[in-house]
Structure 1
């Protein structure tokens, strides 16, 4: 008979695509992983993975069944947490997806600190990636709740923070003398494009104005952007909330003209199916940061 343990092993192996790594994450032997997957395949009558020595690759039917498996695991976790809620949420798991400095540095640490003070028995897992990856993780049910750039029409969302996009310039750049900067004025310099939470927004801004920046660099790390701009090698556009509270002497920020706002929120796949742990996290986030 199919078990939740088998489905969990199936899910973890699908993430790692490596028996040894999956075994380490699960805290079981590699043979235990192999046996569980073979038993599941025998029961279902299909091959879930193509084997390549120690590595594996999902089959077409494996990809389709993985979504079903994660749905079942999500329902089971919700049941566990609803039972735990009746006992005061003494235990459970909360999986959070985060992107960029705005969520990972400015928002999330304080939220986790306050959450664990209230619910010390809830185990928190945080995965970081670009905002598009966070949305994909939500749809694949790899995470329970994630930070997203709004609007996001296919998910249940909860706005938290509104900030603005700003031009990031070397401190001795001629544009740094201006109070605000137009998009067109940024098209004559080497441009570094963020690969994190604002990448799509920045790209859409230039596209809407039929402008083509000279994209010379792409990086998902804010420190790399600050270094490139500070050394005079590029200009950029970033979210103001992602920047350190005080500017370096090597770079300056300037508002865009016209101003461009950005909204950040939390998202879930379906709030009606969210566990008590997820709902408590969203409620706390709204108390701490909800946008006016």
Structure 2
């Protein structure tokens, strides 16, 4: 068993295809097939169920994938610790990010300083909904991810705080109030943005024993803004995620009582984090002094 075989196994599982994995790795499809077949023969199990257009992990394949990614993560840490001894001149850092707050407000500034300090580190950024970043962390597909705090299962550090606000169409009755209560948002069609802090919004209503009339589920914040602007519904979003320019056709009002949201960085286990990961977190803490504890 080799690390190359495990890397190919992990990539085929991620992309659900031998051809896609071959293109990503810059090798032939036959080389990918051979690596997987050799690994299956050595382990004595079938890792994938082959179908016409794609492949799916078998039950044992799903179990072994977590182990394979853990081994790859440890190998990366080993390589980067050696690189750290040489001045961290090489290595890879995989980052997960979500929403405008992390991807636009926080990440670019951190990356600018990180690349200046560590130009030899190759950085990969994957973007998706907040819950997907958590999944990527658990699957070890990324080294560090931006998350909505609190996350008890992870080692975290806080970076940024804003507040949740009610999003209302212009002319809505609630738009004339200084603040809005959650219960007052349960009468209109509700627009849930699944690209940002959707779990936090759902948890807020659940904790208050309220049930919003969710009529729309938007994968992007821009779709939510458009839906609210057209008067089709109301929503709750993070204030920092809203665009800072232009003339919005919606109104934002703070919730009553106020609801704070914290964004931070998370890793699975600080003890297994690579030097590049720890350097990235340290850089983020220096740039955003809200940080209270280091991972």
> Is the contact between residue 196 and residue 221 of structure 2 (CA under 8 Å) also seen in structure 1?
no
Q: 1:110 matched to which residue of 2?
A: 109
The yes-or-no answer on 1:120 pairing with 2:119 is yes
Q: Following TM superposition, by how much is the alpha carbon of 1:89 offset from its aligned partner in structure 2, in angstroms?
A: 1.1
Q: 2:249 matched to which residue of 1?
A: 250
Report which stretch shifted further, 188-197 or 159-168: 188-197
Measure, in 1, the Cα distance between the counterparts of 2:54 and 2:245: 47
Q: 2:240 matched to which residue of 1?
A: 241
The yes-or-no answer on 1:130 pairing with 2:129 is yes
Q: 1:55 matched to which residue of 2?
A: 54
Q: 1:259 matched to which residue of 2?
A: 258
Q: Following TM superposition, by how much is the alpha carbon of 1:220 offset from its aligned partner in structure 2, in angstroms?
A: 2.1
Q: Aligned with 2:125: secondary structure?
A: strand
Moved over 6 A (4+): none
1:244-277: CA deviations, max 9, x gaps?
A: 2246341121100110111111000001111010
Q: 1:31 matched to which residue of 2?
A: 30
Measure, in 1, the Cα distance between the counterparts of 2:179 and 2:173: 12
Q: Number of residue pairs matched?
A: 291
Measure, in 2, the Cα distance between the counterparts of 1:90 and 1:146: 23
> Is the contact between residue 171 and residue 249 of structure 1 (CA under 8 Å) also seen in structure 2?
no
Measure, in 2, the Cα distance between the counterparts of 1:193 and 1:232: 15
> Is the contact between residue 20 and residue 54 of structure 1 (CA under 8 Å) also seen in structure 2?
no
Structure 2 gap segments, 5+ residues each: none
> Is the contact between residue 83 and residue 91 of structure 2 (CA under 8 Å) also seen in structure 1?
yes
Q: 1:285 matched to which residue of 2?
A: 284
Q: 1:79 matched to which residue of 2?
A: 78
Q: Following TM superposition, by how much is the alpha carbon of 1:104 offset from its aligned partner in structure 2, in angstroms?
A: 1.1
Taking a change above 3 Å as real, the CA distance of residues 110 and 283 of structure 1, as seen in their structure-2 partners, is same
1:228-254: CA deviations, max 9, x gaps?
A: 111211111000111122463411211
Q: Following TM superposition, by how much is the alpha carbon of 1:54 offset from its aligned partner in structure 2, in angstroms?
A: 4.9
Structure 1 gap segments, 5+ residues each: none
* TM-score for both structures, normalised by structure 1: 0.96
Aligned pairs for 1:56-205 (under 5 A) are: 56-205=55-204
The yes-or-no answer on 1:272 pairing with 2:242 is no
Measure, in 1, the Cα distance between the counterparts of 2:165 and 2:106: 19
1:42-92: CA deviations, max 9, x gaps?
A: 111111111113521111111111111111111110011111111111111
Taking a change above 3 Å as real, the CA distance of residues 158 and 283 of structure 1, as seen in their structure-2 partners, is same
> Is the contact between residue 179 and residue 255 of structure 2 (CA under 8 Å) also seen in structure 1?
yes
Report which stretch shifted further, 274-283 or 119-128: 119-128
Measure, in 1, the Cα distance between the counterparts of 2:258 and 2:53: 52
> Is the contact between residue 146 and residue 265 of structure 2 (CA under 8 Å) also seen in structure 1?
yes
Taking a change above 3 Å as real, the CA distance of residues 10 and 249 of structure 1, as seen in their structure-2 partners, is closer
